Structure 1
Amino acid sequence: MGLLQTSVFRRTFEQAPAGGSERWVVVVLVLLAASVRLGYAYHGRHVALYGDMIHYDAAALRLLDRHVFSFWGGAPDAYVTPGYPLFLAGCYQLARWFHGSTAAMRTWAVMVQAVLSALTTGWIYAMARAAMRRRFAVLAALLWVIYPPSWWASTQLLTEPLYTFLLYAFAWAFLRAVQRGTPAAWAGAGVALGLTGLVRPTVFPLVAAAWVYLAVVHGPSRRIRQAVAGGLWHTAGFVLPLWPWWVRNARVLHRLVLSDTEIGNPLLYGTDPNYQHDPDLGRGLTSDQQKHLALQRIKDQFTHHPWQALRWYTVGKLHDLFTKPWFPPHPSRLWLINALNALHLVWVFLGCAGLCLGCWRQRAVRWFAVLAAFFVVVQLPFIPVNRYVYPLMPLFFMGTAYLVQTGRDWILARKGGRTL
């Protein structure tokens, strides 16, 4: 049996009907998510800037007022990709047309992010529905609706709300490209991936996913031309939104920067198990110098202390990434935070189990598992901040829902019942 047989794989994704009732389920879920998020955002609409939020806010204002892209405020740079500052600048400009105050601009951005987080619910349901029955797809979407960090994330002027929305737009577009196999579908998935990469370049290697899938499916059947055409359309779609950024960097910075130049700082902090108490690590060094120092430290760690280094880059970082959700502490509501931490761990463990089980039993879930594994592996060399795991939580919710469906079916089968 091939890993992905065309007819079986496509039937898997075609099991979800596109009827009116299906659309109403999506509408209700999105409206429910929007009501929760907009209410939370309005309640905490006074945005307090700190950390990277200060720089994103300033970069957006510089784009509007000086028409210069600079994260640090000096000369033009490419320290971060331009997706999120452009998004903020767009929200700020809309707010200026109606209000004009800086506080109103940030509130407007927060509200837009809340809507994007609600719309992400639709992508989650659509993906889950491609792999499981309706009630369990609803369960996966509802877990995202009620997940408190997804409410709070919308109030932060950081990349997560926009990135998560675009990431799952790409993930769903990829499924549709697998189902349809048309040039337009593959190109659309590529455009969605390129837009996601403009917000966070971690996704760049996923452009190879289409080539791998097409090679596995069409290679044995010798439909090489169709496979190459699909891969080329996907790659062209990926390049399309990124091309202006590459041209800008070549003209303004006089060198080719495909993504950004930020890699040195998070890579260097990722070499230090004591990173939380070492804020001055790499201070005064350029990004290239930090990258060089990080690579040298990694080499030394694995040369002189291989077991300690292996433990830090696997167990240690996985612990820091997954044990707690990305959510602010509330000393006055410690019981609530402890309950959320416990639920978060339950969802992570159940989700992992469901994704692993789905890899064996359900071809559609393999795509979810591949995405989760990819992002975990890519993150391990860098600083293990739980903020970077936040966009993966919908995958764990889908894994949890699939595990619940499988467990229910098994219980009914043992009792001689039938699945619904």
Structure 2
Amino acid sequence: MLSNKVYKAMKSPLLYILIIAFLMHMYFLLKHPGSVFNEPEVFGKPVSTYGSLDASKYSNMAWQLLHDGIYGYADTKSNAFVTPGQPLYLAGLFQISEWLHIDHITLSRITNMALNLGIISIIYAISQLLFKNIFISSLASMLYTTYFSAYHLFRTLLTEIPSVFFFMLSILIFLLLLQQNKFRLHVLFGIIASITLMFRPTPGPLLLLAWGMMVYKHGLKEAIKIGFIWCIGPVLIMVPWVIRNFMVFGKAYLFSSHAGDPLLSGANPFYLWDENNMTQDMINAGYPDTSEGKGDYAKHLIKDGLTNQFPIWFSWFTIGKTIYLFNEAHALNFYTSYFKPWIIKFFDYQHLFVVLTGLSCFLAYRKNKQILLLSIVVLVYIALSNMFLVMSRYGFFIIPCICILSAFFTIQFFSSLYKKAIR
């Protein structure tokens, strides 16, 4: 029995894709290229140590939580600026590093590497569940394996790798429970989805889409029961965070107390205005310099813009921000002096290929139910992201799903060419 399983594993393309991915991860882990990591005189020591300014703030927050018991992002006082997924994840890793007497950054990178390999496996599994086609599954996994940004981000202490892992895992579990309406799968889905939202709240409204599919598949009465089962996850994972916020601040923040900041930063069509001037204009308009004030002012700007300057504001919140999400492979610009030009061009063109074929897949195969489902997930995420500040790092979050769409589009394209050639 064991020998049969080993034989099947040896025949699976996923095994060899994972070997390639492991070797690529080890290269980046040991060689550690990238100007942002190796030029502290340019970027500053905290940024070069942890990979970005946000990552250094998360790391300081995790140490502060461990040693002082204070949950505060970029502050020595308690706050609710960020959701607890990443701080607790890092605090757990840092505590383990102290117990084992190993470098906390190395442990974090190795853990992120394991999660990245897990993402590749999940992409393969999702593709198999959706299409039952080994070529699509293999290509989808390989597209992510050769996608550059993953090799930069696993060495930073940012939210991207763990949040993408849990997001893709929640999609996989959801597809499984569509096939097997089992209680434990519903409970597990609720828990994993809640963990995902504690790392990255943006996909939250996708849960309504998931529940809508339960209504369509099982009827309203059964879907209500399923909804209550899913709620076990939020009760275990999210409610303690809400209670903490209410007890400390008197407000039951579900996610973050500073949602207004990215909303205001995103209310700047094609970045025509200086952000400092926007803050001063906000104060002059009578709005307080708080997260709530920024959120209210952003809503005022958006409403006024869509009313009086509709073309520019509408194009900004649709095509404009989407371009900013996917206009480049995140962080590739830090490696131009480390790799030969043809390697940089490969990663650049590969990113362009994945995005264009992935987003085109919906238009070409929208009548395919599996493609429609995955495309809606991608499009809803893009729409939700476009409400706030956008950057290529946030676009990376949905790249694994786009890789699956790209693989389907590519295999179908060459399959149709082959069929025409043999006629």
Bin of the TM-score, shorter chain as denominator length: 0.7 to 0.9
Partner of 1:195: 195
Deviation readout 1:170-207 (Å, 9 max, x if unpaired)? 01011011110122212211111001001011122122
Normalized against structure 1, the TM-score is what? Answer: 0.86
Against the structure 1 CA distance between its residues 318 and 41, is the aligned structure 2 distance closer, same or farther, given a 3 Å change threshold?
Answer: same
Shift of 1:108: 1.7
Tell me, yes or no, if the aligned pair for 1:322 and 1:386 is still in contact at 8 Å: yes
Point out where structure 1 has 5 or more consecutive residues left out of the alignment.
1-17
CA distance in 2, matches of 1:218, 1:359: 24
CA distance in 1, matches of 2:143, 2:346: 15
Shift of 1:231: 2.4
Tell me, yes or no, if the aligned pair for 1:37 and 1:115 is still in contact at 8 Å: no
Partner of 2:108: 109
Shift of 1:393: 1.1
Q: How does 1:84-123 map to 2 (within 5 A)?
A: 84-99=86-101, 104-123=103-122
CA distance in 1, matches of 2:363, 2:257: 35
Tell me, yes or no, if the aligned pair for 2:82 and 2:257 is still in contact at 8 Å: yes
Q: How does 1:145-156 map to 2 (within 5 A)?
A: 145-156=145-156
Tell me, yes or no, if the aligned pair for 2:197 and 2:204 is still in contact at 8 Å: yes
CA distance in 2, matches of 1:138, 1:54: 36
Against the structure 1 CA distance between its residues 118 and 279, is the aligned structure 2 distance closer, same or farther, given a 3 Å change threshold?
Answer: farther
Deviates more, 1:403-412 or 1:246-255: 403-412
Equivalent position amino acid for 2:56 in 1: I
Equivalent position amino acid for 2:23 in 1: S
Partner of 1:315: 319
Deviates more, 1:175-184 or 1:338-347: 338-347
CA distance in 2, matches of 1:242, 1:20: 42
CA distance in 1, matches of 2:6, 2:412: 25
Shift of 1:208: 1.4
Alignment partner of 1:161 is 2:161: yes
Shift of 1:218: 2.7
Partner of 1:287: 291
Partner of 2:406: 400
Partner of 1:352: 359
Partner of 1:256: 252
Equivalent position amino acid for 2:18 in 1: V
CA distance in 1, matches of 2:271, 2:291: 17
Against the structure 1 CA distance between its residues 237 and 254, is the aligned structure 2 distance closer, same or farther, given a 3 Å change threshold?
Answer: same
Alignment partner of 1:389: what SS? Answer: helix
Shift of 1:156: 1.3
CA distance in 1, matches of 2:70, 2:18: 36
Normalized against structure 2, the TM-score is what? Answer: 0.86
Partner of 2:300: 296
Partner of 2:126: 127
Q: CA RMSD in A?
A: 2.4
Equivalent position amino acid for 2:140 in 1: A
| Identical amino acids, percent of aligned pairs | 23
Against the structure 1 CA distance between its residues 393 and 336, is the aligned structure 2 distance closer, same or farther, given a 3 Å change threshold?
Answer: same
CA distance in 2, matches of 1:301, 1:201: 26
CA distance in 2, matches of 1:36, 1:334: 18
Alignment partner of 1:38 is 2:20: no
Shift of 1:39: 2.6
Partner of 2:210: 210
CA distance in 1, matches of 2:376, 2:184: 24
CA distance in 2, matches of 1:338, 1:301: 38
Point out where structure 2 has 5 or more consecutive residues left out of the alignment.
38-47, 281-287
CA distance in 2, matches of 1:335, 1:30: 24
Partner of 2:40: none
CA distance in 1, matches of 2:295, 2:223: 37
CA distance in 2, matches of 1:293, 1:94: 43
Alignment partner of 1:255: what SS? Answer: coil
Tell me, yes or no, if the aligned pair for 2:187 and 2:233 is still in contact at 8 Å: yes
Tell me, yes or no, if the aligned pair for 2:148 and 2:329 is still in contact at 8 Å: no
Q: How does 1:208-247 map to 2 (within 5 A)?
A: 208-219=208-219, 224-247=220-243
Deviation readout 1:278-309 (Å, 9 max, x if unpaired)? 35353892211211121111122122211121
Shift of 1:97: 1.9
